Structure 1
Amino acid sequence: MTAWEELYDAHARERRVDEPAKRVRAPERTPFERDRARVVHAASLRRLAAKTQVLGPGTDDFVRNRLTHSLEVAQVARDLAHPLGCHPDLAETAALAHDLGHPPFGHNGEVALDELGADAGGFEGNAQTLRILARLEAKSFDADGGSVGLNLTRATLDACTKYPWPRADAPSAQPGKFGVYDEDRPVFAWLRSGVTGPRRAVEAQVMDVADDIAYSVHDLEDGVVLGGIDLARLDDPGERAAVFATVRELYLPGVEEAELDAALARVRAVGSWPGAAYDGSRRALAALKNLTSDLIGVFCGEVHRATVERHGPGPLVRHAADLVVPTGTLAEVSVLKGVAAHYVMRSEARLGLMERQRQLVAELYAALRDRGPDALDPLHATDFHDAADDQGRTRVLLDQVASLTDASAVAWHARLCR
């Protein structure tokens, strides 16, 4: 028995459909290496290249899309997981998969689909991720002919579950956030076998923190490069107050302004924080890249130190511990997220675009509902025919729209909504 097999027992490595080892591979891969490969080759991962991160994928050649963001989250997750003793491939797979459920136009499309699917349980990107991994991706089938998606191990599916509860059980601190639709409760019960309550796996916590760290610095970088963020504006007390108001509204309600001011001061004290306005030169871009690298290193280091102080050196796997994010680190990450949200996501031009995107999603959904299975692609048309009731058919329509990229959603709308 290997060291990994001792840490992740047969229950953790189990798949819903048993699979014999493939003899053509030498040396044989671990179950978590196989899981990672399946996600890397999944169609839903490829589609993320054409889905919005903060700005649309066609906006500029430099900015992140959902795929490049996911790759960066995966790297941060490996950096966090390795010193804690988590299996790095397991943490990386969860990070690669964390945004698979996002529909076209990112969180904006998610809001629109949630409203459209209210009578069938709504829509949530994390619940959609589980649905994709365990049902919609074409890879494996059970003895009854039902799809089991990529047939990932229990530990991997658990690590991909950011919100391990159905909508009805969402905690008051996270209303509207959930990780499983009622229709998918059987697989959820399987992957959570042996776990009591809503506690997340360590690897899921690593994925979640890596996501926060990655987009806090990378959205800032994208905003600076595109001219939406001028870091020198943070010298002005009024500008800082406006940013802090956004932080409190979106990320840290109730936090004191002095705490946020101190957090901003700490990140601005990082040696690579730019001392001059961004001018588009190679030197300026290099300085910005060094800043993102340094900040990621600082945040990962703070989380690692705090976690080891509480739990010891590890290894920390599955449900043996909880990742510790120091209050100061959380404030620092949230302030950076708030800068990007205030100056980029909440710009007047973007707010108008977001309204048009939601309208497009609503009109496309209505056209698919009215036209029925003939308007769906073959995979979803089959699911529509097999659905037991109206709620099941609504779920299939949501699946279809969510599967589209930004560009294909626009193309489908042009074709079906004349």
Structure 2
Amino acid sequence: MGTEAILGHDETAHDFVLAIPGYAEADSARWVEEPRKSNYRSDFERDRARVLHSSALRRLGAKTQVVAPDTDDFVRTRLTHSLEVAQVGRELGRSLGCDPDVVDTACLSHDLGHPPFGHNGESALNEVAHTIGGFEGNAQTLRLLTRLEPKVLAEDGRPAGLNLTRASLDAASKYPWSAVDAPVIHGHRTSKFGAYEDDLPVFEWLREGAPGNRSCIEAQVMDLADDISYSVHDVEDAIVAGHFQLKWMENPDHRARVVGYTKQWYLPHNDPAEIDAALARLEATKVWVREADGSRKSMAALKDMTSQLIGRFCQSAMETTRAHFGPANLTRYDAELMVPEDTVTEIAVLKGLATTFVISTDHRQPVYERQREVLHALVGVLNATGDRHLEPMFAADWRDAVDDGARLRVVIDQVASLTDVSALAMYERLVGSLPSLW
């Protein structure tokens, strides 16, 4: 049987409910119990709808992916990136027997916790939140889904966020551990984590039955779809924006820089020769666009390249996983997503291209410094002025906070919710003229 929902009879509710092959009743449970409102949608379809209609998802339309949203009309934002990740993840997950709505929900959710100014903003908020456990975009995503996004309240009035099912929340947990329990990888404890200390009750609930720090296969599909999407699309955006051309890889100095950044940022334990070989394999494909001149023909070729590379990477993972686990529906903890090392390296070298020619360029560094300055200043002003300048929901959270640490977390929640544009506007309103370079 495929992943289509089937009707089952609920004797308690005297109603028909949708059961999903490969998923148990506990997977459809919600943190706050809700009455069933319809019998034509599965619980997982309702999850997807809740994320799709959320204000947190809409705000991603004005948050930086790699190139700032206001630079031109073509570049991807966090929102368009999330929609593309959802499309890639949904198809890959369905091919493996995962419920496509669980994967879709996780993909749509995966960047909800990102603050203004992309990863640079994440670093800035982590600095100002170091006394309360730091800031992590993935932990912030869980906080949004289970607390901050207005949708469901418990009987005692506490917020439950979107109140998604256990399976969907688990699938959205890219790093299924707290900061304290973060694993050691290659001899170093990772700084990535999926839950703040005061969100541990719901985190422990959603992880019931999970084997240790292992991600469910739906989360693994989401993670790979994210990697594939931004590795390919960031290169496309950078080329269209005029930052570089793929023919530059024929220059030994440029090529060495790309290999070096790929190793430094993404594959520190790989031999540079392996990274160079992965780049050579991509260059040898028929779809590699050495130069795009802005014509409709070259833009079509570039778009075809991105589509073919996405298919290449997904096909590799799907075929390898199926070879290990067979044709059954692969759900939750029944299987692991198997990605060949060659594919991992090819994806990483594409990330290295964007890192080399966009993220790490010298002319961007002063802009990054000003972005951090803006966020540091906003947290400082808001933390010093109580609930005066907070949005009503955050002001209520601030008044309910039990100590200074909890109040600082509310301020961080407020600043993290801002878009690039609204962060700059709030800075001008509360602090003054923007720093130079704006």
Same fold (TM over 0.5): yes
Contact preservation (8 Å) 2:62, 2:69: yes
Which structure 2 residue ranges, 5 or more long, are not aligned?
Answer: 1-5, 8-17, 433-438
Contact 1:79 1:300 in 2 (8 A): no
Residue 150 of structure 1 corresponds to which residue in structure 2?
A: 162
- Pick from 197, 205, 212 the counterpart of residue 190 of structure 1: 205
Write out the 4+ residue segments of structure 1 that deviate beyond 6 Å after TM superposition: none
Question: Retained in 1: the 8 A contact 2:175–2:215?
Answer: yes
Question: Among residues 263, 284, 308, which one is paired with 2:278 in the alignment?
Answer: 263
The alpha carbon displacement at 1:343 in A equals: 0.5
How far, CA to CA, are the matches of 1:194 and 1:46 in structure 2? 33
Q: In the alignment, what sits opposite 1:128?
A: 140
Taking the aligned partners of 2:394 and 2:33, their CA distance within structure 1 comes to 26
Q: Is the 8 A contact 1:4 1:87 kept in 2?
A: no
Do residues 15 (structure 1) and 18 (structure 2) align? no
Q: What CA deviation, in whole Å up to 9, does each residue of 1:1-29 have, x standing for no partner?
A: 55953411110001122222224xxx610
* Aligned-pair CA distance for 1:381: 0.4
Corresponding residue for 1:286?
300
Query: Which structure shows the higher helix fraction?
Result: 1
CA distance in 1, matches of 2:391, 2:232: 38
TM-score where L is the length of structure 2: 0.93
Match of 1:89 in 2: 101
**Cα shift readout 1:122-167 (whole Å, capped 9, x = no counterpart):** 1000000000000001111112111111110000000000001011
Indicate which of 49, 53, 77 corresponds to 1:65: 77
1:313, 1:390 → 2: CA distance?
54
Structure 1 gaps of 5+ residues are: none
Show CA shifts across 1:56-83 (max 9, x none). 1101100000000000000000121011
Asked whether the equivalents of residues 182 and 192 of structure 2 are also in contact (C-alpha less than 8 Å), the reply is: yes
CA distance in 1, matches of 2:289, 2:424: 39
* Contact 1:101 1:127 (C-alpha < 8 Å) held by counterparts: yes
| Structure 2 SS opposite 1:139 | coil
Offset of 1:361 from its aligned partner? 0.6
Report what 1:172 is aligned to.
184
Alignment match of 1:401 (pick from 390, 394, 415): 415
TM-score by length of 1: 0.97
Say whether 1:302 aligns with 2:336. no
CA deviation string 1:372-415 (max 9, x = no partner): 11111101000000001111111101000000000000000000
Other-structure match for 1:374: 388
* Structure 2 equivalent of residue 226 of structure 1: 241
* CA distance 1:4–1:339, change in 2 (3 Å): farther
**Correspondence for 2:12:** none
Distance 1:407 1:71 in 2: 21
Give the counterpart of 2:55 among 25, 40, 43.
43
In 2, Cα distance between equivalents of 1:176 and 1:257:
25
Query: Does the alignment pair 1:348 with 2:351?
Result: no
Out of 115, 118, 125, the position equivalent to 2:127 is 115
Quick check: 1:30 aligned with 2:45?
no
CA distance in 2, matches of 1:209, 1:389: 39
Give the Cα–Cα distance (whole angstroms) in 1 for the partners of residues 407 and 377 of structure 2.
17
Is the CA contact (8 Å cut-off) linking 1:229 and 1:340 kept in structure 2? Answer: no
For 1:245, which of 242, 260, 280 is the aligned residue?
260
Q: Partner residue of 2:114? A: 102
TM-superposition CA deviations, 1:214-237 (whole Å, max 9, x none) = 001000000000110211110122
On the 8 A contact 2:263/2:275 being kept in 1, the answer is no
Amino acid at match of 1:82: R
1:100 and 1:129 in contact (8 A); partners too = yes
Alpha-carbon distance between aligned partners in 2 of 1:231 and 1:213, rounded to the nearest angstrom = 18
